[in-house]
Chains A and B, each alone.
Chain A
Amino acid sequence: MAGPGPGPGPGPAGRAPRRAPPSLSLRARRRAAANQQARGGAGGSRRAAGAAMEDVCAKFVSQKISKTRWRPLPAAALQPPDLFATGSWDNEDNRVSIWSVGELGNVGLGGEYQGEPQLLCDIRHNGDVMDMQFLDQERIVVASSTGTVTVFRHHQNNQTLSANQRWEKAHYHVDQNTSCGGAACTGVICNNPEIVTVGEDGRINLFRADQKDAVRTIDNADSSTLHAVTFLRTTEILTVNSIGQLKIWDLRQQRNEPSQILSLTGDRVPLHCVDRHPNQQHIVATGGQDGMLSIWDIRQGTMPVSLLNAHEAEMWEVHFHPSNPDHLFTCSEDGSLWHWDTSTDISEKPSFLHQGGRSTTYFSHSTINQSVVSAWLSNDPTKDRMEITNLIPNQTLSVNSLDILGPCLVYGTDAEAIYVNRQLFA
């Protein structure tokens, strides 16, 4: 993971609620740049980005990719994922496609995967694919810019996709002429059989996969656009909006009010993505319009635990590694994809990581046992254990989506390419 750069890993930013000092973010960037150089040197073959890392395969697909998602593995599975779905945006006809990797026996001598992803099947989708989640092994929930939410079923025996269930205009505007126009559905999250969607109309819908009508709708849940949603617990969801707020909604309560509002201080930077720590449900990561990564502890305070200056433009997605949550992945409009690694052992770190004065004020807080507290909430910069790697050298156009499962990473870009890295931790 660690690039060959000689420098120490960039430190996490100081304890929030203040921003990461510029020096820190600079170092993070410099590190990324060093990685780029070291990796970029190996390039030169056709796949500019792919060549830099031999284990990445790229495929140009003639459509701008807005979402990529691995198909979830059955509970007992040990093998790496082999199927993923993509959705496109901004095309005249957009598509939802299923791709396979690795099942065609294209395994090279060294055991590494050689071939490109193969298209298994695709289906037309009305409107841009705004978000996409697998409901189970076979069904995919797709959010459309037309406000429609569709469940597609992937028939594995004959490799076809079909629309299984559709909620037309799940999100809509009521304009002055009282005609209803669809409003883009921006986010969807599944917890089989429940599906929660949010949209530009500030509405939250709760669907059940088997029911025709919405189970619950919260109109005017937000005065601005809701950008993303995630489950905190089975009955609680968390939404992020375009004025920098996190809202927690308890679906058991009939009140159409959020049970808690957390927000960035003052500057109202829109938040575009959110993900919850897979094991510690109180830890939440969000990404904002300015590329900042924020880590929140929703048990305490209404402000983020730490703000990490990261990308130079909108952060489109953030994902904790589902089984290895010390690793976090973010991708951004600026065409970069970062791997944040907090698992590095302290003892291996040289001592010059001490950052001096600015950390001292926080020493008093760090009384909790480090081994219990997640690395993400670690508030002691002297135990700086964050390693950041930019996985894409020389990328220019936006990386809109990424998904991570086991050792496999898939991401899609506006340059109409999908990339699969099957040996992330090699």
Chain B
Amino acid sequence: METGRPPALPPSPPPLLPPPALPAGYEVRRGSPGAPRPRRWALPESRRSQTPRGSHGAPAAHPRSASGKPAEPATAGSGAEPGLPRPRPSGRPRRPSSRPGGAFGARRRFRGERPAPAPNRRRPAARPSFTPAGVSAPAEQRRGEGPEGGGAAGRGGRRRGQRRQRRGQPRRGLPARRQAGGREGSAAAAAAMEELDVEPQLMVVPGADPSARQLCFAWGPAEVLVCETLFGRRGSGEGGPSSSRVFVVRRDQDIYIQTLRKLFNESHGIFVGLQRSEEELAGKSRKAQLVQVSKNYRSVIRACMEDMHQAAISTRDPALHSQYSTQVSILSAMELIWNLCEILFVEAAAAGPLLLRLLDWVRLHVCDVDNMVREVLSSENPSKHELFWNVVDVFVLQGRMDEARHLLSKEASANPASVNMYKILDDLMKKMPMPSLGNTQTLTEMELKWQHWHEECQRYLQDGTFASNSHMESICKILLGDEDAILEKKELMTTWYHFLVTRLLYSHPTVKPMELRFYAQSSMDLFLGGESSPEPLDTILMAAFEFEMHQVIKECSIALSNWWFVAHLTDLLDHCKLLQSHNLYFGSNMREFLLLEYASGLFSHHSLWQLGVDYFDHCPEYGRVYLELHIERIPLNTEQKALKVLRICEQRQMHEQVRSICKIMAMKALRNNRLGSALSWSIRAKDAAFATLISDRFLKDYCERGCFSDLDLIDNLGPSMLLSDRLTFLGKYREFHRLYGEKRFSEAAKLLLMLMTAHIAPCSFWMTLLTDALPLLEQKEVSMLVTGDKAPHPISFLPDKVCGSGDPLSAPRLGLALSVQKNCGSSRIAQQSKCPIGGSTQDPE
């Protein structure tokens, strides 16, 4: 975040940066600069390539900054100094080096250029809509910042204060991903949440050449438009012919993975269910309910993982295969973390059951050895298999005593000589006390039993019962919780958390939740033995063992490539009332912030936006505003989609948006010459002005063609006719025609008279009205009506304009008016009067 750089630095020519190796992340779509963008965002359909992803946790593009208007150069008010791209110290890694492959390491890989669908709306490049006028700050400045940083620059920045604080600090030497000191307590962890500890990433937009020309950008929800301006590097001269491309830079690429859409959709249902669930449920059943929700989430992750696995198997494309495999490992890591959080936070298992849960957890997730087990068990003589003892060890290490004993009994029957030894070991394993899930025994009881059993094992080991068989001796040592003996089986455990759980099982079966952190830390140190540094997954699990929920969420935000996980996990923990509701320096609390991020990502997707609505609904503070801003930007290509969007708005009383959508649809219909549709939409929007406009079009068409179009609509206006005066007039005038056509002259005349007296007729229409009156005046009953004492003289309602001079037609009009006044309804006069304007009226007969 270098926008706040001291201005003292000389504006040196920017060093040309060799494009760094692309770290994965942001996805760039390329398109041609458009004709004026439609009011609603439509993504340019075009090629895509990548740029790195922005850092974690930063407040994302606030939709407010997306003006929705044709993209403007987003430089105003940025306050950034002229182009000073900050050269990156060479050799400095973009990301911490400790990001090997495995679960998270390979997560955001460069997604190969896909064959480009031809941009089907390519427009002439000669109409650059990104006028560079007023571009003062070269966008190069912000090139390195990723959307988050740019967002702050573009709109004055919620984060500016923070940046200011940090300005004086010396930059850290390394982009340390972890805050060393952030763990001392949740307050500190919370503080760490607010500390930006990842360097902003340089984002290279393939194809854009910032060294030659300044870039400008415009914000969209979760996306940025970048384009090259006409301006050269120094902000003075022209930089040569402008390229004709606009780049769309996306934030969240995972959203676009097909298989993950199942995850998003299925978990959406669970999320909504959780929000609806009753808070009133008493302690225990509430907890059970939450655990069930957590399990549902996990099974969705699992199902998705299976689908992804299938996809990986069935694809023949190696690139796709590796992409899918990466996703599988991410998903499995997500489930691993979620499961641990479920045990420790949601269920908050107490000492005793805690160990059982952890054992289940390890059995479920350490599946590297499952193949070996299967192989051995399916061989015709397991006990002769070379891996036989490995399998027994696996069972013992995972606490699967019954299975281990079953295998051993086979071995025993094959070795009658040592059957006694087997019997003793079998007996030890059978007697091993385990914590119970129910309340059948107290902890002290359990500890006593366990102590007793431990001593028994000790005795057998010391008197050398198993000395003749090294395998059995080592098993006995494991039963005794001998760390060295357990560590010898490192390959069978594969991970430090397996080691941790095994160690707990055989030395501290009644471990209390709060003691976990010590064992966890030492287990990790022992297991890794200083050979390798912990990976992101390790640090996340460690944070969980330390009950640093905020730290878990923070680490996950950094390590995982999507917001899905943290948003849902945080929401669940929040429902467990586990998160202190400390407010973040930007806006609302963490749950809401993460949900907003996730939902904004959904809204940037052409299809998943419907899911986002419910997430916004459950963000009390900003959800509504976000929804309002996002929903207006959904492209409406069919009426059905418009209806769906309208329904969303109407259910939430978003009147402004309802009006705007209806108006858009009405305008579209009008442009397509669908007056009836346009009128329907404006009636739905209760948009009087627009209804007037359309009514005028109808009346004009009538004057030109002499007949009404769209009678099915006009005849059925009903109460909606009252929306605007002009519409009322249109409806009533048509009614007059109908009455006249049905030869109900008296009623027709009354209606006509009413239309005249009500002063709702447009001035230009008066002549038509008066001519319509003429034939009626010939009717006997009608003339009675007009001349009656009560009836006012028609001439008295003529507006001034009609009778005013200057109008070439005023003389005949006056004549007509006078003829009406005199009630000389003879056909002669009528014929005469009609002549000059006969072309524009229609004789009702």
Known contacts A48-B296, A128-B638, A394-B273; A174 and B672 CB within 8 A of each other: yes
Q: Say yes or no for B258: interface residue by CB 8 A criterion.
A: yes
Q: Which 8 A-B pairs have the closest CB atoms?
A: A223-B676, A223-B710, A173-B672, A60-B262, A62-B261, A266-B718, A46-B299, A223-B713
Interface-forming stretch among A73-81, A323-331, A372-380, A409-417? A409-417
Q: Say yes or no for B303: interface residue by CB 8 A criterion.
A: yes
Whether B607 contacts A396 by the Cβ 8 Å rule is no
Whether B644 contacts A223 by the Cβ 8 Å rule is no
Q: Say yes or no for B386: interface residue by CB 8 A criterion.
A: no
A201 cross-chain contacts in B, Cβ below 8 A: 672, 674
Could you give 10 example pairs across A and B, Cβ below 8 Å?
A60-B261, A63-B261, A91-B607, A201-B674, A223-B709, A225-B677, A243-B676, A314-B647, A333-B644, A396-B268
Q: Say yes or no for A44: interface residue by CB 8 A criterion.
A: yes
B686 to chain A, nearest CB (A): 13
A interface residue numbers (CB < 8 A to B): 44-46, 48-49, 60-64, 89-92, 128, 130, 145, 173-176, 181, 183-184, 186, 200-202, 220, 222-225, 241-245, 247, 261, 263, 266-268, 270, 289, 313-314, 333, 394-398, 414-417
Alpha-carbon distance A415/B637, docked complex (angstroms): 20
Q: Say yes or no for B680: interface residue by CB 8 A criterion.
A: yes
Given contacts A223-B709, A333-B643, A415-B269, 8 further A-B contacts (CB under 8 A): A90-B641, A130-B638, A176-B673, A201-B672, A222-B712, A244-B716, A266-B718, A314-B643
B300 cross-chain contacts in A, Cβ below 8 A: 46
CB contacts under 8 Å to A, within B567-616, are 606-607, 610-611, 614
- Which A residue's beta carbon lies closest to that of B256? A92
Bits for B268-295, please: 1 = Cβ < 8 Å to A, else 0: 1110110000000000000000001000
Alpha-carbon distance A220/B707, docked complex (angstroms): 15
B700 to chain A, nearest CB (A): 14
Which of B270, B606, B673, B719 is in CB contact (< 8 Å) with A92? B606
A263 cross-chain contacts in B, Cβ below 8 A: 716
Whether B273 contacts A267 by the Cβ 8 Å rule is no
Known contacts A48-B273, A145-B637, A225-B639; A183 and B266 CB within 8 A of each other: no
Q: Say yes or no for B675: interface residue by CB 8 A criterion.
A: yes
Q: Say yes or no for B671: interface residue by CB 8 A criterion.
A: yes
A415 cross-chain contacts in B, Cβ below 8 A: 265-266, 268-269, 611
Whether B640 contacts A184 by the Cβ 8 Å rule is yes
Q: Say yes or no for B259: interface residue by CB 8 A criterion.
A: yes
Whether B718 contacts A175 by the Cβ 8 Å rule is no
Alpha-carbon distance A145/B640, docked complex (angstroms): 10
B104 to chain A, nearest CB (A): 24
Known contacts A224-B677, A396-B614; A261 and B712 CB within 8 A of each other: yes
B661 to chain A, nearest CB (A): 15
A60 cross-chain contacts in B, Cβ below 8 A: 261-262, 265-266
- Which B residue's beta carbon lies closest to that of A333? B647
- Give the number of residue pairs across the A-B interface with Cβ within 8 Å: 149
Alpha-carbon distance A1/B286, docked complex (angstroms): 32
Alpha-carbon distance A128/B607, docked complex (angstroms): 11
B713 cross-chain contacts in A, Cβ below 8 A: 223-224, 243
Majority DSSP secondary structure for residues of A touching B: loop
Whether B610 contacts A266 by the Cβ 8 Å rule is no
Which of B268, B273, B676, B711 is in CB contact (< 8 Å) with A224? B676
Whether A181 contacts B610 by the Cβ 8 Å rule is no
Whether B610 contacts A414 by the Cβ 8 Å rule is yes
Q: Say yes or no for B720: interface residue by CB 8 A criterion.
A: yes
Which of A241, A243, A416 is in CB contact (< 8 Å) with B261? A416
Residues of chain B at interface, number, CB under 8 A: 50
Whether A48 contacts B269 by the Cβ 8 Å rule is yes
B610 cross-chain contacts in A, Cβ below 8 A: 64, 397-398, 414
Whether A184 contacts B638 by the Cβ 8 Å rule is yes
Alpha-carbon distance A222/B712, docked complex (angstroms): 7
Looking at A48, A247, A398, the one whose CB has the most chain B CB atoms below 10 A away is A48
Alpha-carbon distance A61/B299, docked complex (angstroms): 17
Looking at B651, B671, B672, B674, the one whose CB has the most chain A CB atoms below 10 A away is B674
Known contacts A243-B680, A314-B647; A46 and B303 CB within 8 A of each other: yes
Alpha-carbon distance A243/B259, docked complex (angstroms): 40
Alpha-carbon distance A333/B675, docked complex (angstroms): 27
CB contacts under 8 Å to A, within B701-754, are 709-713, 716-720
Looking at A176, A181, A242, the one whose CB has the most chain B CB atoms below 10 A away is A242
A124 to chain B, nearest CB (A): 11
Which of B640, B671, B711 is in CB contact (< 8 Å) with A176? B671
B640 cross-chain contacts in A, Cβ below 8 A: 89, 128, 130, 184, 186
A217 to chain B, nearest CB (A): 17
Looking at A64, A181, A223, A313, the one whose CB has the most chain B CB atoms below 10 A away is A223
Looking at A61, A184, A241, A397, the one whose CB has the most chain B CB atoms below 10 A away is A397
Whether B709 contacts A62 by the Cβ 8 Å rule is no
Bits for B239-276, please: 1 = Cβ < 8 Å to A, else 0: 00000000000000000001101100110111011000
B676 cross-chain contacts in A, Cβ below 8 A: 202, 222-224, 243
A184 cross-chain contacts in B, Cβ below 8 A: 637-640
Known contacts A63-B607, A90-B606, A91-B606; A128 and B637 CB within 8 A of each other: yes
Bits for B642-663, please: 1 = Cβ < 8 Å to A, else 0: 0110010001000000000000
Bits for B104-134, please: 1 = Cβ < 8 Å to A, else 0: 0000000000000000000000000000000
Alpha-carbon distance A96/B292, docked complex (angstroms): 36
A89 cross-chain contacts in B, Cβ below 8 A: 640-641
A64 cross-chain contacts in B, Cβ below 8 A: 607, 610
A313 cross-chain contacts in B, Cβ below 8 A: 647, 651
Alpha-carbon distance A222/B720, docked complex (angstroms): 19
A61 cross-chain contacts in B, Cβ below 8 A: 262
Alpha-carbon distance A130/B640, docked complex (angstroms): 9
Looking at B259, B606, B713, the one whose CB has the most chain A CB atoms below 10 A away is B713
A321 to chain B, nearest CB (A): 25
Which of B299, B677, B716 is in CB contact (< 8 Å) with A268? B716
Alpha-carbon distance A182/B358, docked complex (angstroms): 60
Alpha-carbon distance A61/B258, docked complex (angstroms): 9
Alpha-carbon distance A314/B644, docked complex (angstroms): 9
Alpha-carbon distance A224/B715, docked complex (angstroms): 13
- Which A residue's beta carbon lies closest to that of B710? A223
B265 cross-chain contacts in A, Cβ below 8 A: 60, 415-417
Alpha-carbon distance A258/B242, docked complex (angstroms): 57
Alpha-carbon distance A314/B268, docked complex (angstroms): 22
A222 to chain B, nearest CB (A): 7
Alpha-carbon distance A289/B640, docked complex (angstroms): 11
Known contacts A174-B672, A202-B674; A46 and B718 CB within 8 A of each other: no
A373 to chain B, nearest CB (A): 30
Alpha-carbon distance A389/B406, docked complex (angstroms): 52
B291 to chain A, nearest CB (A): 11
Which of A45, A186, A223 is in CB contact (< 8 Å) with B675? A223
Whether A243 contacts B716 by the Cβ 8 Å rule is yes
B290 to chain A, nearest CB (A): 13
Alpha-carbon distance A414/B611, docked complex (angstroms): 9
Bits for B456-472, please: 1 = Cβ < 8 Å to A, else 0: 00000000000000000
Whether B299 contacts A181 by the Cβ 8 Å rule is no
Alpha-carbon distance A239/B324, docked complex (angstroms): 47
Which of A48, A90, A267, A394 is in CB contact (< 8 Å) with B718? A267
